[in-house]
Amino acid sequence: MILDLPSLLCEPERGLGVCPAIRASPDRHMLNSIVGKHLRVHLSNGWVFEPWFTGPDFIEYQLEAGPHKGRHAIQIPTFRQIVPGAIESLHWIEETGTHVNLTWYLETQLIERHASVPRWLADHDMAVTTGQNWDPEYLAKIRQMAADGPDMPRHVYADRGYFEILDDKTVAKHSEYFGTERKTPKLNAHPYAHTTP
């Protein structure tokens, strides 16, 4: 049986105002990895996004709620199994220069996000990143804004939330965003593909 959410993560005085109604249940999914899964992530600041992990080095996601609702992005992340079958981590650098790190706690379906956003974007309406990050016009606009800067001081998000596993019916319902087939380009086929040291 899956444990109830740890009370430590639900203490309002610690600023963790997200305590979902995900509780122990015999019909709840047993998750041993995020790889190959379509999920819905709810962060404590109200952001909701739906990532689809077609492999450990490919993530596609759509923002469903938050300041840049409608953003549809493909990223080439670094994937790590911190504790196999229990804790996994993803890190990527977005075309804006934002560093994103997500830590997934599989048993409780909790997530921690740390993101370092460049100053130019933190001071801007984040809706500027709405769109598809492989579109050449979008990339040209974002690259020019990033070049104009400034980069520092960065704004850091350090928050928590929870995630759900979407079933086939939910995936079909959201096919208008994701399409009926997953995009699976070669690792360097994405126009913003890059490597990190």
Note whether 56 and 35 are within 8 A (CB): yes
- H helix count then E strand count, the chain: 4, 9
Average pLDDT over residues 150-157: 96
Closest CA to 128 of 146, 107, 153, 152: 146
Note whether 59 and 101 are within 8 A (CB): no
**Does the pLDDT at position 28 exceed 70?**
no
Residue-wise pLDDT for 107-120, tens only, equals 999 999 999 999 99
pLDDT at 53: 87
Provide the whole-model pTM: 0.73
Confidence of residue 23 (pLDDT cuts 50, 70, 90): very low
pLDDT at 174: 42
Structure token pair of residue 66: 């938050």
Measured distance CA(110)–CA(76) in Å, rounded? 22
- Beta bridge mates, 72: 62, 132
Structure token pair of residue 115: 């993101």
Least confident of 20-29, 41-50, 74-83, 157-166: 20-29
Residues in the chain: 197
Residue 136: asked if its preceding bond is cis (omega within 30°), the reply is no
Measured distance CA(183)–CA(189) in Å, rounded? 11
Note whether 108 and 3 are within 8 A (CB): yes
**Does the pLDDT at position 71 exceed 50?**
yes
pLDDT at 19: 42
pLDDT at 29: 54
Measured distance CA(184)–CA(166) in Å, rounded? 19
